[in-house]
Amino acid sequence: MSAALVSLGVVFVAELGDKTQLVVLAMGARHRPAAALAALAATAAALMALAVAAGALLGSALPERAVAAGAGVLFLAFALWSLRELANSRDAGAVAPRGARGLLPLVTAFFVAELGDKTQLTAGSLAARGGALGTWVGATLGLVGATAIALGAGRLLSGRLSERALGYVAAVAFTVVGVASLVVALRP
């Protein structure tokens, strides 16, 4: 249960303001919210299953301290990555025009934007530490929750959405989890 809660919280916060959410914000407003969310939730579940499977396989092959140290370093790298993205980012432009038919372009863009993204790497890192099923459930719910917010925001906003504050929150969350993981790895 704790693996599910940790992964839900970390993935949810990390995903807010991420490029994937900007894709959903821009493209999702063109579709019926329930249909778009269902398609994106299925895609999120598949993406997180890939990440968790890779992380669980790696975790079973390595000692616990090495996994904790690796996860700690990855989380700190994700924090730096988030800050770098903030430094290099421009706010999202205007929401794309409505009228595109079918969910395939939205789902494809979401999949490509999320594949190998820091939240997928986060889920893999958490799964390597144990609790693959709980990590998958939590990471999927975290990604779907953040995606639902982006869909709602896309429907409400027609202009710009600042990602800066959310990016800083994600960077802080990654730093806290990274430091905590390194403390676990380095304890006597």
Q: What is the DSSP string of 116-178?
A: T-HHHHHHHHHHHTS-HHHHHHHHHHHHHHHHHHHHHHHHH-SS----HHHHHHHHHHHHHHH
Q: What's the structural domain count of the chain?
A: 1
Output the CA torsion sign for 136, 110, 162, 157.
Answer: negative
Mean pLDDT per 10-residue run, the chain (188 residues)? 84 80 71 87 92 78 73 78 73 39 76 75 81 90 92 68 60 77 83
The boundaries of the domain holding residue 15 are: 2-186
Question: What pLDDT is recorded for position 64?
Answer: 67
Indicate the DSSP class of residue 95: P
Measure the CA–CA gap between 98 and 53, rounded to whole angstroms: 37
